[in-house]
Amino acid sequence: MQKQLQINTERLDDVIRDDDRLKIMPEVEKAHRKLKDQKEGNGGSLGWMNPEKIISNGTLDDIEKTAKRLMSISDVVIIVGIGGSYLGAKAVIDAVAPKEGKGKVVFAGYNIAGDYISELFNFLEGKDISINVVSKSGTTTEPAIAFRVIEDILKKKYGADNIADRIICTTDKKSGALRTIAEEKGYKSFVIPADIGGRFSVLTPVGLFPAACAGVDIKELIAGALNQKERSDKSSLEENPSYIYAALRNILYTKGKKIEILSNFDHRLHYMSEWWKQLFGESEGKAFHSIFPASCDFSTDLHSMGQLIQEGERNLFETFLIVEKEEKHIVIPGSDNNLDNLDYLVGKEMSYVNRKAYEATSEAHYEGGVPNSTIFMPERSAFYLGELFYFFELAVSVSAYISGVNPFDQPGVEAYKLKMFKFLGRPG
C-alpha cells in the first residue's frame, strides 16, 4: 500500500482538550456542507476541487508538448507573474525539479526593483530566451511592466515578426488585456480556469506549464492531488486530515495563539512555505481577525528565530513540514584529532542528524510552551507535493469558513493598488 501524507497532533493534546474538539465539530460540519453545496451548485471558486478536469480536457498533454517545444529553442524560459501566478510554480520547481531543469527557468514580474531586472538582463545576455507570462487580467502592474520590458528585448533580439513562437500567455479564456494581446499577436495561450482563484491555481496551467519547462513530471503532481482528494472524500469529518488541521488551528486561535509558524528542515521547501503563506494569509486575513502565517527554514533559523520561538511571547503555535525520506545519503567521516568532538557521529548519515534536529526542536519548543504538530511527507516528490497542495487548499477553505470569512475573495489587496495608481498618476 502506498504511503500517504500524515499529520501528527500529539504535541497539541495538552492545550486542546476533547471538549474543544467536540465543540468545534458543528462548525467543521457547517463548513463542509457549505463547500459541498457550493460544489454541487457549480460554485464559482471551487474548480481546484476537481484536478481531474485538466486531464479530461487534454490540457495536460498540450502543456507537456508545448513545454518540450519551447525548451528545444530556449536556453532559459522567463516566467512572468506575481502572487498566485508565481509562487506555486516556484514552489514546485524548487522542491522537485531536476537540477538541470531548475537552471532553465527564471522568474520576473514579482517585484518592480529596477536592479533585479537589470541583473536578470545581464544573466540572459547571449542566451536564447522565451517567455511565459501569467496573468488573468494582463493589467497587474508588476508583471505587466516586466512583460512589456522583456517582450521589447525579444523584439530587439529576434525581430518583431519572429517572436510569436517564443511567447506563451496563460490568461483568462475570454477577456482581459493579455487575452487581447495573445489573440492579436498570435501568441500560444493556456487558460486560467474562471472558477479557480490565483492562490488556488498551482495545479492548472499557471503552475503546471513552468513546472513542465523545468522537467517536473506534472502528471505525478495531478495524481497526488487526486489521491488526496479521494482520501478526503472517503474520510469522515473527524478523520479527514485537512479538516483536522483546520479545526485544530482555529481552536488554538481561540486560546490566544495568533501566529502559526510553518517550519521545515529541507531548504528546497522554502517556497512551499511562501506559497502556503499567501494561501492562508489572503484566504483568512479578513474582518480584522486571523492567524498570522509565518515560516522558518531550519536548522538555519534556529540560530536566529529560534530564540524568539523558544522564549518569546507565547502567542504562537508551530506546524512542522517534514520529509521522511531524503534523496542523498551523505556519511559523516572521521577526523585526525576530533577537535570538533564529532567522532560520535562518524558513519552516521546527515539525514539522521537532520531528523534528530527536528525531533529535538519539536520537543524543546513544546516544552517551552509552543504547541506543535507535524505534517509528514513520505518523500519529496511530485506526487506527494500534489497531495500537499490539495491538503492545504481544502484545509484553508474549511478553516476560513470556521473563522467566519470567505476564503475565495481578497478585497484588501486592492487598497495598495489604488494608492499606487494615484501616486503614479494613472489616468482615471
d(CA 30, CA 32): 5
Would the CA dihedral through 277, 262, 78, 70 be positive or negative?
negative
Give yes or no: residues 236 and 365 share one domain.
Answer: yes
**One digit per residue, pLDDT tens: the chain, 428 residues?**
578 999 999 999 999 999 999 999 999 999 999 998 887 766 679 999 999 988 887 899 999 999 999 999 999 999 999 999 999 999 999 999 998 888 899 999 998 888 988 999 899 999 999 999 999 999 899 999 999 999 999 999 999 999 999 999 999 999 999 999 999 999 999 999 999 999 999 999 999 999 999 999 999 999 999 999 999 999 999 999 999 999 999 999 999 999 999 999 999 999 999 999 999 999 999 999 899 999 999 999 999 999 999 999 999 999 999 999 887 889 999 998 999 999 999 999 999 999 999 999 999 999 999 999 999 999 999 999 999 999 999 999 999 999 999 999 988 777 787 887 888 788 87
Tell whether omega for the bond before 299 is within 30 degrees of 0, i.e. cis.
yes
> What was the pLDDT predicted at 414?
74
Give yes or no: residues 195 and 246 share one domain.
Answer: no
Give yes or no: residues 208 and 233 share one domain.
Answer: no
> What was the pLDDT predicted at 1?
56
Sheet holding 129-134, edge to edge: 105-108, 76-80, 129-134, 167-171, 188-191
Specify if 305 maps to a domain.
yes
Nearest 5°: phi and psi at 286? -140, 170
Cell numbers found for residue 185: 499577436
> What was the pLDDT predicted at 285?
95
Give yes or no: residues 290 and 342 share one domain.
Answer: yes
Domain final residue, candidates 184, 216, 248: 216
User: What pTM value is reported for the model?
Assistant: 0.95
> What was the pLDDT predicted at 279?
98
Query: How many domains does the chain divide into?
Result: 2
Give yes or no: residues 57 and 33 share one domain.
Answer: no
Give yes or no: residues 283 and 157 share one domain.
Answer: no
Give yes or no: residues 88 and 227 share one domain.
Answer: no
d(CA 413, CA 137): 15
d(CA 326, CA 294): 25
The CATH number that applies at residue 121 is 3.40.50.10490
Specify if 408 maps to a domain.
no
Give catalytic residues, as residue numbers.
282, 303, 417
What residues have CB less than 8 Å from 313, skipping those under 6 apart?
none
Give yes or no: residues 118 and 200 share one domain.
Answer: yes
Specify if 419 maps to a domain.
no
Give yes or no: residues 190 and 293 share one domain.
Answer: no
d(CA 377, CA 96): 13
**Domain assignment of residue 347, given as a range:** 6-38+221-403
Give yes or no: residues 308 and 323 share one domain.
Answer: yes
Domain final residue, candidates 216, 243, 276: 216
Query: Residue ranges of the alpha helices (H) in 176-217?
Result: 177-185, 205-213
Q: What is the mean pLDDT of the chain?
A: 94
Cell numbers found for residue 207: 503552475
Give yes or no: residues 209 and 228 share one domain.
Answer: no
Give yes or no: residues 149 and 266 share one domain.
Answer: no
